[in-house]
């Protein structure tokens, strides 16, 4: 699937997966996450008042669903 974004009079072609990554990273940043890229990995960190937390699969699924929501990008 090809996505076209119009900026002024130029067109930019972008792969769908690249756009999804951008949306995901944008939403995570807006939710207060810090993101670092090391080689091919993205590292997400967020301050949790000094608490150590273990993330359950349900939290990780929620994190993914919330940050893959492209409507947040369009509404900001």
pLDDT of residue 13: 74
Task: Give per-residue pLDDT as tens, 34-63.
Answer: 888 888 888 888 887 666 566 677 877 888
Q: Are 36 and 42 in contact (CB under 8 A)?
A: yes
- Specify whether the backbone of 31 is left (phi greater than 0), alpha (psi in -120 to 50) or beta: alpha
Task: Give per-residue pLDDT as tens, 5-31.
Answer: 666 666 667 777 788 888 889 988 998
- Taking each helix axis as running N to C, give the angle between helix 16-30 and helix 57-67, from 0 to 180 degrees, rounded to the nearest 10: 110
- What's the sign of the alpha-carbon dihedral 15, 16, 20, 23? positive
pLDDT of residue 41: 83
Which residues does 45 contact at the CB level (< 8 Å), separation at least 6?
33, 34, 36
């Amino acid at each position: 699937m090809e996505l076209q974004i119009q900026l002024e009079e130029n067109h930019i072609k972008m792969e769908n997966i690249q756009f999804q990554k951008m949306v995901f990273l944008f939403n995570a940043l807006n939710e207060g996450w810090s993101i670092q890229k090391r080689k091919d990995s993205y590292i997400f960190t967020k301050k949790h008042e000094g608490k150590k937390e273990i993330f359950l699969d349900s939290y990780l699924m929620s994190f993914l669903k919330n940050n893959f929501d492209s409507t947040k990008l369009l509404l900001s």
